[in-house]
Structure 1
Amino acid sequence: MKIEDHILDILQLYEYAMAIGKSLDYKESCDLFLKLVLKRKNLNAAWILESRDNVLKSTYAIPLGKEIEVEKDEAKSALLDHIDFAQIVSSGNEISTMAPIAIDGGITAIFNLQDGGYLFLYSKKDNLTKKDVLQLEPVISKFTINLKACKAFKEQEQLLNNLEVQNKELSDYAHMVSHDLKSPLRSIDSLATWLKEDYDAKLDDKGKESLGLIRSSVDKMDALINGILEYSTIGKNKVEVYDVDTNKLIDDISESLHVPSHFSIIKRNLPVIRGDKYRLQQLFQNLITNALNYNDKEKGIIEIGVQEKNHFWQFYVKDNGKGIEKKYFDKIFNTFEKLENNLESTGIGLSIAKKIVDIYGGNIWLTSKVSEGTTFFFTIKK
């Protein structure tokens, strides 16, 4: 063979290889590669059949032609199943039943694309040779990998679209339910208030206590609904990043929570970090609230500090409260999980904290000793 022919073959292989992998769309990837092969090899048609539930279905064809959907019977199995990589066959009746265009003589090269099905290259002029098949082997192998990537991308894209739709439906449902629930709650609270004001002199201590329990239950239900709404909306909006003074943030949280007088909140050199003030406030507030609600000591202590690591801040919120048994360490981050029947708790605060930490690409964990206290750790990327 002349040196010019060798160079031409190499250039042709390079051209084929460059046409593969430019797109993750299945049809576009097939177009880029197979149209080029047909043009360079002077072929008449190319198509791909995939076997699904013992039925051969066309997933791509050029020219488009008819859609193929035929049973993979014994004759077709005998033709296709033993092909290791490629085989050239006469374009007889069996090929005609699997072709999207009318076949009139010629030959067909069939390539096994593994899980991607079978690629058929058809030539009317019998101008496909074993040399052509050998030349195409490396690029067909690359093409097979590209098709797998296209399918994986399509499945992932479909999954993400489904998740997006489901998340929107859940969010809309949460807002709708919260509205429908809050309306009767307001009515109950108003009615209890009117009863206390209008019949205060006539109510005995038991009646006043009952009305107090009603209003307390309404407040608890209202807090639970707000918690569900917060949880469902976290992550819906884009995370804005700017400087946040966590030292001042803790001061603001302490004022808003009206920390009882027997509690001390100690801050340890808290830094200015990059983040979203609203989400960071939710994160710290839920951890501090948890420390307040589960403390049985005469003098409650909550310590908040940080360690600076190479690529992240590692914060901790430490208390001297009741402590948590190790078997519950993972469970408490689940939505609506409570370790005891505390009227002040909704069972959603720690799940909100975890979700916020997840948004920031960090981790949250704890150490604890029963009757001695608990320390929650979480990381925020710098």
Structure 2
Amino acid sequence: MSTLLERQIRKFLPQDLANNESLKPFLEAVKKSYHTQEEQFNMLQRAMQISSEELFVANQKLREESKAQQEILDSLKLVIKSLQLKTPQKNENLDVIELANYLKEQSEELNKVREEQETLLKSLENKNEILSNYAHMVSHDLKSPLRNINTLLNFILEEKPELASQCKEYISLILNNLEKMDALINGILNYSTLDKEQFGKEVIDLNLLLTQLTEVIYIPEHIELQVPKNFPTIYGDTVRIQQIFQNILQNAINSIEKEKGLIKIDYKDRENFWEFSIKDNGYGIPQHQFEKIFRIFEKIDNDQQATGIGLSIVKKIIDFYEGKIWLESELDKGTTFYFTLPK
């Protein structure tokens, strides 16, 4: 193209100048200038092409972002509608600013509710702490005179062996009631001081735990206890898990009045939790008392020896672990307690 320009320039020059060697520097300068202009023009075209591509990409991104924002707005409208919240306008055509203001108002209300909840929780924590301290104090104040009475009665029995048999029976009855009172106080203390925050988190070998439990709990000779040897390892607080098994097992032992008693402890491996069962062939529980027995101080009508606290403690512990407890029972045939614990 530069050669064409040189010919055109020579064409319009006089013949004597067209072939003049002294004109070559001028033509060379024009040629270089044209080259520079052509390169700049090509660069400008390239820059415009790049800018056009970038602009296209940017526009594409803007369209995608706009679409995404519209989807978010639509989703928020659906959320508001599904929650049946009162919208700031009667129509549903909320623009971004209106929706943002509305969400700000809802956020402020939620923050207010959260602050109220935190205040309530702190109040409950303080009350729970007061209740726990009160339970310890009452426990100490009640158990001290019980111990004194127990000591005094045993002293009388040892020092006065010549007491009438009827008098000894009365003293024995008093001692039995003192034991019941002591168990009741311990139960109330255990129930009122259960605190999930204090639960330990350790590996528990249930085979070992159940073996140790059967060594410390009294099982009459006429009762057979069947426990498989392949129980799983779980995670939790050893003392609390032992309380669950011990209280249900003790409840099963107390319910058996037959000459040959049988208690079976078993488990099933579920997807996200372990399901345990403790089955006995005791006198059974009436269906109308199924829910009642898990409430504190409630007990089966025909079980006068019970404190009415053991199963309520069991339920409270299982609730802390977000498990479930239920039972199946037939009168004169027996009862099966089921409960779940997370893996």
In structure 2, the residue matched to 1:212 is 172
Distance in 1 separating the partners of 2:332 and 2:175: 32
- From the superposition, tell whether residues 378 and 135 of structure 1 become closer, same or farther in structure 2 (CA, over 3 Å): closer
Please state whether the residue corresponding to 1:259 is helix, strand or coil: coil
In structure 2, the residue matched to 1:318 is 279
- From the superposition, tell whether residues 262 and 302 of structure 1 become closer, same or farther in structure 2 (CA, over 3 Å): same
* C-alpha RMSD over aligned residues: 2.4
Counterpart check, 1:223 vs 2:223: no
Deviations along 1:339-361, one digit per CA (max 9) or x if unpaired, are 13535321100001101111111
Please state whether the residue corresponding to 1:157 is helix, strand or coil: helix
Tell me, which stretches of 5 or more residues in structure 2 are unaligned? Answer: 1-61, 70-86, 90-94
Q: Counterparts of 1:24-63 in structure 2 under 5 Å?
A: none
> After alignment, is 346-355 or 336-345 more displaced?
336-345
- How many residue pairs align between the two structures? 258
What is the deviation of 1:166? 1.4
Aligned AA (1:138): L
Greater helix content: 2
Give TM-score scaled by structure 1 length: 0.64
4+ residue stretches of structure 1 with deviation over 4 A? none
Aligned residues of 2:196 and 2:320 also touching (Cα < 8 A):
no
- From the superposition, tell whether residues 198 and 341 of structure 1 become closer, same or farther in structure 2 (CA, over 3 Å): farther
What is the deviation of 1:154? 1.2
Counterpart check, 1:342 vs 2:303: yes
Aligned AA (2:227): K
Counterpart check, 1:138 vs 2:107: no
Aligned residues of 2:88 and 2:102 also touching (Cα < 8 A):
no
Please state whether the residue corresponding to 2:338 is helix, strand or coil: strand
In structure 1, the residue matched to 2:322 is 361
Distance in 2 separating the partners of 1:341 and 1:208: 27
Please state whether the residue corresponding to 2:306 is helix, strand or coil: coil
In structure 2, the residue matched to 1:332 is 293
Counterpart check, 1:241 vs 2:205: no
Q: Counterparts of 1:1-382 in structure 2 under 5 Å?
A: 136-201=97-162, 203-235=163-195, 237-268=197-228, 269-340=230-301, 342-382=303-343
Deviations along 1:111-154, one digit per CA (max 9) or x if unpaired, are xxxxxxxxxxxxxxxxxxxxxxx874232111111111111211
Please state whether the residue corresponding to 2:322 is helix, strand or coil: coil
Distance in 2 separating the partners of 1:263 and 1:340: 23
Please state whether the residue corresponding to 2:341 is helix, strand or coil: strand
Greater strand content: 1
> After alignment, is 217-226 or 341-350 more displaced?
341-350
Distance in 2 separating the partners of 1:207 and 1:290: 32
- From the superposition, tell whether residues 142 and 237 of structure 1 become closer, same or farther in structure 2 (CA, over 3 Å): closer
Distance in 1 separating the partners of 2:294 and 2:114: 32
- From the superposition, tell whether residues 262 and 149 of structure 1 become closer, same or farther in structure 2 (CA, over 3 Å): same
Distance in 2 separating the partners of 1:377 and 1:209: 40
- From the superposition, tell whether residues 222 and 144 of structure 1 become closer, same or farther in structure 2 (CA, over 3 Å): same
Distance in 2 separating the partners of 1:372 and 1:141: 62
Aligned AA (1:149): L
Tell me, which stretches of 5 or more residues in structure 1 are unaligned? Answer: 1-6, 15-83, 87-133
Aligned residues of 2:204 and 2:236 also touching (Cα < 8 A):
yes
Distance in 1 separating the partners of 2:239 and 2:199: 10
Aligned AA (2:339): F
Distance in 1 separating the partners of 2:203 and 2:88: 59
Aligned residues of 1:220 and 1:343 also touching (Cα < 8 A):
no
What is the deviation of 1:85? 5.3
Distance in 1 separating the partners of 2:173 and 2:248: 27
Distance in 2 separating the partners of 1:276 and 1:150: 35
